[in-house]
Amino acid sequence: MSGRQNLSHFPSDRLYAALTRAAVAIGRLDQRLHNHPLLPAILFRERLEAARVCATVDGYVIDPWHLGAELEGLRPKLQGEDAADRGAYVDNAKIAFEQYQWLSRPTSTQAVRIHEATELLRFEAVTAGPLLGAARAFHRWIDDGNSRSPLRDALVSFWQETQLLRVGLPLTGARAFASDTPWKQSMWLPSFMNALADEAEGIHARVIGIERQWHHARAHSGARRSNSRADTAINLIAAFPLLSATRLASLLGISIKSAYLMLERFLAAGLITEVTHRMARRLFALKEFEPLREVVRPPRRHAAGRKRGRPRRDDRCFPEDLTEREEKVEYAQEAAKLIGPLAIDYGPPEEALALADVAIGRMQAFSR
């Protein structure tokens, strides 16, 4: 009897399978990302994706690329047909930033809550290990009436502390909190493990996609000489989420003009994308980050041939439609035929002028 009671405390077969799957997926991802040359760009991309997934599970639909534009200091487009839609879009952008802040740059107040969550993770991991202990701690944390965000961020550092992941990757198992997931612990723990495995496999696939773009760009960079810096330039563009010509020139030790010529050649070959729609102060990235260009608002440009300021009424930069002008002339001619010449009565104005002359004469006589 005692043996059966002890067995009841061990994970079920379903939980064992989910635990094994999560461990294998996370271990494979850790091996791929350890000392990866494109790690800054990968972390930038995955933090945006983690913020999107967490917000979606919490009931908010956000655009991760809108968040990325805000973080990089760019001006994103305001989506929506009216003020209400645009207001909702701005509110969602604020929620996206809060999710990102919890995962990567918590405030001092948030750090206190994260510390409490980390202590609970450590306590549960002593007896159950980092993966199963984290799942039990998360379930207990929510049962105690706490919000999800502190423990999500605590997981990022906890995976590194337990050496499960050697990089600060936002692996949170957010989809385990979907509305259709059962909350009973025996059923929820496998769901959390499978959610972690799904996230790790998704990140692994996106990393392969970034690497594919990187290798394609290197293969077509046009580097033929042994001292060419084209491959190094591609490596830098791929490693950083966004890179300017000035920074590229500084990193390569070349002139800004040479950096621009190199970037223009990469653009013409379709190896990279320019995300700012500008003629100056441009930012470049791999083709993998092309959706960022779609959400960035193009700068306002003046019409050709017109200086700054309000245009004159007779400004030729805005020519009138010839068809519309011909219709106006025809309409005026037809109106003139129907109305005919106007008969103007000049009698009243002449009488007024005569009275004015009499008044002026009286004033002159009185002044003498």
**Domain shared by 59 and 198, yes or no:** yes
**Domain shared by 264 and 136, yes or no:** no
Share of the chain above pLDDT 70, in %: 75
Q: Is residue 302 part of a domain?
A: no
Residue 340 has pLDDT above 80, yes or no: no
Residue 4 has pLDDT above 50, yes or no: no
Domain ranges, residue 58: 11-207
Output phi, psi for 350, to 5 deg: -70, -40
How far is 225 from 164, CA to CA, in rounded Å? 42
Q: Average pLDDT in the 128-155 region?
A: 93
Residue 204 has pLDDT above 70, yes or no: yes
Contact between 244 and 284 under an 8 Å Cβ cutoff? The reply is yes
Higher pLDDT, 2 or 267: 267
Give pLDDT, residue 337: 54
Give pLDDT, residue 142: 95
In the chain, what is the straight-line distance between the N-terminal and C-terminal CA atoms, in Å?
A: 138
Residue 26 has pLDDT above 70, yes or no: yes
Domain boundary among 262, 295, 328: 295
How far is 353 from 346, CA to CA, in rounded Å? 11
Residue 270 has pLDDT above 60, yes or no: yes
Report pLDDT digits (tens) over 171-200.
999 999 998 899 999 999 999 999 999 999
Q: Is residue 88 part of a domain?
A: yes
**Domain shared by 86 and 187, yes or no:** yes
Integer angstrom CA distances of residue 93 from 36, 49, 58, 82: 30, 14, 14, 17
Residue 7 has pLDDT above 60, yes or no: no
Q: Is residue 340 part of a domain?
A: no
How far is 347 from 351, CA to CA, in rounded Å? 6
**Domain shared by 64 and 185, yes or no:** yes
Helix, strand, coil percentages (3-state) for the chain, rounded to 5, are: 65, 5, 30
Contact between 71 and 93 under an 8 Å Cβ cutoff? The reply is no
Report pLDDT digits (tens) over 221-256.
876 666 678 889 999 988 888 888 898 999 998 998
Residue 202 has pLDDT above 90, yes or no: yes
Residue 324 has pLDDT above 70, yes or no: no
Total tally of structural domains belonging to the chain? 2
| Residue in 279, 210, 255, 242 with CA at minimum distance from that of residue 71 | 242
Give pLDDT, residue 321: 44
Q: Is residue 312 part of a domain?
A: no
| CATH number of the domain enclosing 265 | 1.10.10.10
Share of the chain above pLDDT 90, in %: 36
